[in-house]
Amino acid sequence: MKGTARTVFSGSEAEEFGVEILGVLPGFPGPRQSAIIARLTGANVEKTGVFAGMSGSPVYIDGKIVGAIAFSFPFSKEPIAGITPIKQMIDLFNKGSENIKPKEPRAVSFSQLASTDWKPNLPKPAVSSVSLLAPVSAGSPLMPLIGQQMTPIATPLVFSGISQESLSAFAPQLAASGLLPVSGVGGSAAITPLGQVDGNTFPPGSSISVQLVRGDYSLAAAGTVTLRDNDRIYAFGHPFLSLGASDMPMTEASVVTVISNMNNSFKLAVPGKMVGSISQDRASGIYGLLRQAPKMIPVKVSLHTSRDHTDTYSYEMVNDSFLTPLLLNITLFNTITSSERALGDSTISVKGEIRVKGQQPIQIDRRFSNSNSPIMAASAIAAPVSSLLTSGFDDVQLDGITLDIDSTETRYLGTLERITLDRTEVRRGEKIEVQAYVRTESGKQFVQRIPMQIPQDAALGQLLVFVGDGGALQEGSPAKSFVPQDLSQLVKAINTVKKSDRLYVKLFRITNGAVIGTSEMPSLPPSVVATLNSDRTSGGYTPTVLSPVYEMELPPAEFVISGQQLIAIDVVK
């Protein structure tokens, strides 16, 4: 049995090539599913073989559509392909509306909110580099059988504006997410409004592009349209990233050429105008709607370089709980290293805000001075974004991220060596001076004088004076994690995370207290302590023996100061 198929080899017009049906493979790629096996014929496919980007190419027999080209045999000497039946594609996306149940809020740790070493927690297993040909997990016993498996045709993601060095730095994270990056093989896409749609939009066999980032940076994957049914678009014939329900820009695309490659031929495509959004990404393909604009997250970054030059980058990215933090991490790292050094001593300060719809803005004010400052700065933004999007609240919508980044190619580090008091006895309401002695890496010592007033209601007896960086203070806090009751509580917690680049002063009293959620409850009466420690209850709070009396954040010094010291003072009548 013979038929025809359509895909774009060059430009935007689809071309036909021959298809010879060889048989049907039942139970593939899943139970109660099947794949049609076919040999592709024609001058173009005999030259290129089954290539990346032809996923979704519609196949016709006697003028009727039967499915989409979606699978291939790696290293095959002939262009043998697997076809996903069109009925499987349509049925999967027409099985009723989404049954979305309310999510439960998840526990959030303060160390996670303040992290400078953010790592993605993505639901896909790590894949080896050969997965461009066959997605086999690294170390799998199936590795020797590559070429004997029929696998989804590769859909490599094209990173435009991202250097190969940046992609290499994030290779483990990209591999863990199942993303297969190709640097610079494709064109970037401007941020444009929803384009006009007519009867010539997305005919079967035309190229379609799915975008995750667009603007000064672009991340897109090209495939082929299988079927247009009014405003409904079916494409790919296999999953893109298996995101399930999604919201990604769906754009037209033109093909520069198909690169014939001994390893893996691929389509060199340039994204065009946005005409809709991809709303489903599942086992039998992707599904989108025309005339529907996706909700993207705008990002604007101003970089002030060590050579007194300012560059501004504007782009927007898809709103996805797993992909957004990863893509933000990569683009911010690349923004810094595009003008500044990626390795070696540097000091980077990041200021700005994350705007959350219906909430107070999340203020960003972080500074890093180290040999890997760029990656620490990028992670410090990705961490709170990840906490927001994976919090379990349904009403999280990021309206935008605006950042000002300053970079110098010098390290400014200091260590808190010791602290002294101008006296060891003090009355309520009196002022004392704490002197913090800081030594820089060059051996120079400077003193930071800290005036502090004892509270009028301070209890008589001994108080402990803590002076240290925000990271040390946060680490020593009994409040390690909490389950936010609502989104506003999470936003407030992010805004109150201690900053690791400056000193804090905190007074403690040695007395019984408790931490419930994010709230410290100092100096509890014995009756309350007895109630919390009742034999009939357990858990729900963290007991403490140091109750906070007073806390002050100091302005940032010239140097990023780390370390902590503790000293006692007596409150007398």
> What fold is seen in the domain 2-93?
Thrombin, subunit H (2.40.10)
Q: Do the domains at 2-93 and 297-408 have one common CATH topology?
A: no
d(CA 485, CA 520): 16
8-state DSSP, 308: S
Find the distance separating the first CA and the last CA of the chain, reported in whole Å.
101
Domain layout of the chain by residue ranges = 2-93, 123-128+149-294, 297-408, 413-572
d(CA 469, CA 260): 57
8-state DSSP, 455: -
Task: Encode the chain (573 residues) as per-residue pLDDT tens digits.
Answer: 899 999 999 999 999 999 999 999 998 888 888 999 999 999 999 888 898 889 999 999 999 999 999 999 877 888 999 999 999 999 988 865 555 555 667 777 766 776 666 666 654 544 433 333 344 555 555 545 555 678 888 776 778 888 888 887 777 766 555 455 665 555 567 788 898 999 999 999 999 999 999 999 988 888 999 999 999 999 999 998 888 889 999 999 988 888 887 767 888 888 889 999 999 999 899 999 999 999 999 999 999 998 889 999 999 999 998 889 989 999 999 999 988 877 788 999 999 999 999 999 999 999 999 888 998 999 999 999 999 998 888 878 999 999 999 999 888 999 999 999 999 999 999 999 999 999 998 889 999 999 999 999 888 889 999 999 998 888 877 666 777 889 999 999 999 888 989 999 999 888 766 666 556 666 666 666 566 566 555 555 666 667 788 899 999 888 999 999 999 999 998
d(CA 225, CA 250): 11
| pTM (predicted TM-score) | 0.83
- Give the torsion through C-alpha atoms of 6, 8, 10, 13, to 10 deg: 80
Does CATH number 3.10.20 belong to domain 297-408? yes
Give DSSP secondary structure letters for 186-248: S-------PPP--TTSS-TT-EEEEEEEEESSEEEEEEEEEEEETTEEEE-SS-SS--EEEEE
Please name the residues in contact with 534: beta carbons below 8 A apart, sequence gap of 6 or more.
none
